[in-house]
């Protein structure tokens, strides 16, 4: 048996009271998402966003691409960790949540750094590939049906020393329970199998809903 224990909310609170404070607009955005009801679960966890910031800072990364931006928590966290001269792109087909996100970017004075593309993920990524764009860190966090496509496209967009992160790869733990056979669980199992077979380096970190980290 590996040595892990269950991280409950009490432990999460302890972690947060002993690590870097969140930016005031991150806190405001978290409160805003809380009030959205069940769709608040779309946002990545605070620990995952902290991890994104850690990866950016430790590698001195200068660019970030995200597929699935929602109200902006993950991309705002990335922006706060990136330098002024960075390249930051978020792709999301939902104009309403994009507009909500932009309000928070403005409030955090990060709006000039972030470019939101309101489009279908596959089409927007194809356009970036045509332009031969490269990104240091790529987060895949949109429709699960297209995860394999997004991953293949991200490989073409990743810089040489870049990292690809994929959210929801443990899917509430359902991927490991063979009795659960709904469409999205099956999609995520297929994705995990695909990554396992791929020659890329990979770890699945049990934070948030499961965070896969891939690098060459
Ligand atoms: C899980 S949420 C992203 C959460 C975000 N990363 C955060 O931390 O707040 C998924 C987002 O993907 C977007 N989305 C779903 N299907 C898409 C598609 N085919 N193309 C572009 N965006 C899509 C949805 O509109 C939604 O905002």
Q: Please give the pLDDT value at position 1.
A: 79
Given the structure tokens 């069940």, which residue do they identify? 38
With tokens 């690590």, the residue in question is: 19
The whole-number pLDDT of residue 95 equals: 98
Q: Which CATH number fits domain 9-215: 3.40.1110.10, 3.40.50.150, 3.40.50.970, 3.40.50.1110?
A: 3.40.50.150
Report DSSP state, residue 59: H
**2: helix, coil or strand?**
coil
The rounded Å distance from CA 24 to ligand 1 centre is 24
d(CA 17, CA 171): 27
pLDDT of residue 6: 87
* Protein residue with its CA nearest to atom 14 in ligand 1: 142
- CA–chain centroid gap for 23, Å, is 18
Q: Are strands 63-67 and 135-140 parallel, antiparallel or unpaired?
A: parallel
Instruction: Give residue-wise pLDDT tens across range 92-134.
Output: 999 999 999 999 999 999 999 999 999 999 999 999 999 999 9
The SS3 call for residue 81 is: helix
pLDDT at site 63: 98
* Domain ranges across the chain: 9-215
Q: Calculate the CA dihedral of residues 97, 99, 102, 104 and round it to 10 degrees.
A: -60
In this prediction, residue 5 carries a pLDDT of 87
**Interior angle at CA 32, CA 28 and CA 36, nearest 5:** 165
Best mutation site among 40, 47, 70 for ligand 1 pocket (most ligand atoms within 8 Å of CB): 70
Positions in the chain short of pLDDT 70? none
77 touches 49 (CB < 8 A): yes
Q: Record the tokens describing residue 178, joined without a space.
A: 């063979």
Q: What is the pTM of this model?
A: 0.97
**Phi, psi angles (nearest 5°) of residue 135:** -135, 145
Q: How far is the CA of 43 from the centre of ligand 1 (A)?
A: 9
List the helix and strand counts (H, then E) for the chain: 8, 7
Tokens 């590698």, located at residue: 59
């Amino acid at each position: 048996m590996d040595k892990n224990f269950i991280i409950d909310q009490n432990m999460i609170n302890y972690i947060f009271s002993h690590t870097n404070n969140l930016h005031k607009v991150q806190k405001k955005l978290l409160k805003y998402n809380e009030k959205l009801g069940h769709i608040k679960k779309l946002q990545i966890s605070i620990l995952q966003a902290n991890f994104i910031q850690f990866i950016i800072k430790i590698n001195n990364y200068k660019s970030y691409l995200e597929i699935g931006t929602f109200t902006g928590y993950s991309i705002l966290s990335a922006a706060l960790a990136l330098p002024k001269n960075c390249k930051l792109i978020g792709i999301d087909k939902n104009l309403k949540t994009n507009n909500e996100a932009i309000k928070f970017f403005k409030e955090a004075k990060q709006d000039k750094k972030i470019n939101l593309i309101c489009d279908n993920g596959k089409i927007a990524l194809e356009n970036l590939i045509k332009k031969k764009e490269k990104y240091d860190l790529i987060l895949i966090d949109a429709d699960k049906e297209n995860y394999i496509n997004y991953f293949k496209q991200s490989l073409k967009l990743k810089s040489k020393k870049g990292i690809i992160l994929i959210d929801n790869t443990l899917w509430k733990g359902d991927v490991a329970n063979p009795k659960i056979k709904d469409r999205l669980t099956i999609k995520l199992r297929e994705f995990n199998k695909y990554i396992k077979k791929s020659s890329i380096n990979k770890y699945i970190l049990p934070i948030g809903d499961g965070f896969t980290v891939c690098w060459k």
